[in-house]
Structure 1
Amino acid sequence: MVKAGQIFSALIVHISPSIDRERGEGGSSSRSSSPRPPRVSLPHSHVGHIPRSLASPGGDHHSKTLSQGSSDMIYIYDLSSKEGHRSGLRLGERVTLIVDNTRFVVDPAIFTAQPNTMLGRMFGSGRDNNFTRPNEKGEFEVADGISSTVFRAILDYYKSGIIRCPDGVSIPELREACDYLCISFNYSTIKCRDLSALMHELSNDGARHQFECYLEEMVLPLMVASAQSGERECHVVVLTDDDVVDWDEEYPPQMGEEYSQIIYSTKLYRFFKYIENRDVAKSVLKDRGLKKIRLGIEGYPTYKEKVKRRPGGRPEVIYNYVQRPFIRMSWEKEEGKSRHVDFQCVKSKSTTNLAAAAADIPQDQLVVMHPPGPQVDELDTLPQQHSASSNKDFF
């Protein structure tokens, strides 16, 4: 009875055109023909030369790495027969993907099982109309800018639904690859040893979603109120639910806080307590088209503590200040021109003609008549200038 390993070896020989093209015309392989013990690769581990006829007969591994040179690697990713029949995937077809000078021989059925991902759309039902075309060798060049190590880890998502971050790969790099390939980046799909980096990325996602809700519910109504009064910028101070603002009408604060708008929300106050959340909020406001964005922590006067008298009898009011978050933003389109004065368009209102001033005639409509002077030919002036210069020389 034929063993499963022999079937897998024969499958690789017949359906891997990219590997067969590397063989010589005489049918001999470029690799050494000396016998070696079989070497089976674990996922994410680099393996040396593996002859096609030396597959592990009883192994459960579904990935093998073949090396054809220092810069040309072939990674064969396969589903076992049991998993393939259980999931209903059709076996037999293979495509070769080139990522970071590495060839991945994959059954496209694993991609079509995840139709919402980029690879699922590429090899799905609309494959004939896809913008991605194979090269002259029938291979697909995909995932530009993604390393082969990251792509190998991402392939595990199509098999088990989990991506394990490889050693030496940062979470932002893995996140960028997942976003490019339209794969969900969340705690159920990503497994990482560095929990701090993983939690940081998840917090950024949560902060962006949360601030978009805060923006619609709390901040936007204040922006609309400012716009309806003719303003083109807004300054919002976030206070807690327990903060009390009690200003003295006779001695209000002298720092322009009367133009600030207040949001009483302990939740929003706690949100802005973290500088990472303020950075996320700033990026959200920038994506929404706002300009001159400032987010930070500043002192805000709440109530009058006492009044001191300076020498001369002038009062000095001391207020109690609390450190609270603030948001400042603008939607002014011509902010550069608003502070520019074009002096060429300003006409002088002064006049030196008393008659025109008495008659109230506009200065630009006044015609001044000068008596004609004696007409002198230009040539008549030359001898005089010459004689004058000669007289100067004489004296």
Structure 2
Amino acid sequence: MRDIRHFIDGAAFEGASGRFGDVFNPNTGEVQARVQLATVSEMDRAVQSAQAAFEGWSSTNPQRRARVMFEFKRLVEANMNELAEMLSSEHGKVIADSKGDIQRGLEVIEFACGIPHALKGEYTLGAGPGIDVYSSRQALGVVAGITPFNFPAMIPMWMFGVAIAVGNTFILKPSERDPSVPVRLGELMMEAGAPKGVLNVVHGDKTAVDAILAHPDIHAVSFVGSSDIAHYVYQTGAQHGKRVQAMGGAKNHGIVMPDADLDQVIKDLSGAAYGSAGERCMALPVVVPVGKKTADELRERLIAEIPTLRVGVSTDDQAHYGPVVSAQHRDRVAGWISKGVEEGAELVVDGRDFSLQGHEKGYFIGPSLFDHVTT
């Protein structure tokens, strides 16, 4: 069994907690690896490494830091296929979606490549009688990111790209469901020329999260995940005097107007609602048509469109989406569908009994559609 280790001080770090999480292949339902779960002392070891790296990294001029980001971008692009296959094997999204996941993260890395300009301060002459005012931007120190399973490349790069470019050092606590890509990103950052300790990856569960939120040498925390945990992270981090941004519970809603181009609407909805098996922060699971005529036509078109959606394994380049990330999540979605029926909604298309031939133990669920949904 392959063990996924922490990445601390520029190298793989063997954890000593004796606790592991299973990493599944959602296409087959099989355990493919174990991920080590950190102790408080192991998190502290990562913070010490980041703290030791901070003085030298923050005093490195922004142009040199930007060159590291340029090289990191090049390395990620050069390893795109490897990263996408690794991501799909643990998350379940199709390869095209995995490449999109990585590319969206790279867009922020591209922004970080221009950090010398973004870091410029301001100077105001004569703000008051005999008073001039200037401002400068300085790095905070050690900062941390706690990221979700659904975008294991994009969201970490969103967080650590700018944080590192401006001179901070970073602790990344990725989801334990798909942890391999974040570790690989840490390796590539070192290969790009970042000093050891600038980017550390520590795996874990609530123990690791609480260690981040309570550690006195971590000055800021960024979080993406569920609303309940976002509230917990914000409250706990603020109690410990940290800057916190906590983003939770995002989903989109759509309104279809009577004069909408329904051909385009159906095309957009099928991707927005069902793409990546709905496991996107900005998925679009709720649509409100304006007027009965619009609603009836939209319903009929969706009924015709849904059977054309191909559900397949991650490596199927014809598949529109793959499995969900875990058996628990598949069962939870099926439970939500059952609850909708119990509460009086009309289940027009039922995907609960979907099974992919040859992958019956995979975490697949078919596209489903409700109509006449009550509050």
TM tier, smaller: under 0.3
TM-score between both structures, scaled by the size of structure 1: 0.22
Looking at both structures, which has the greater relative contact order when contacts are Cα pairs under 8 Å and sequence separation is at least 6? 2
Structure index of larger Rg? 1
Higher helix fraction (1 or 2)? 2
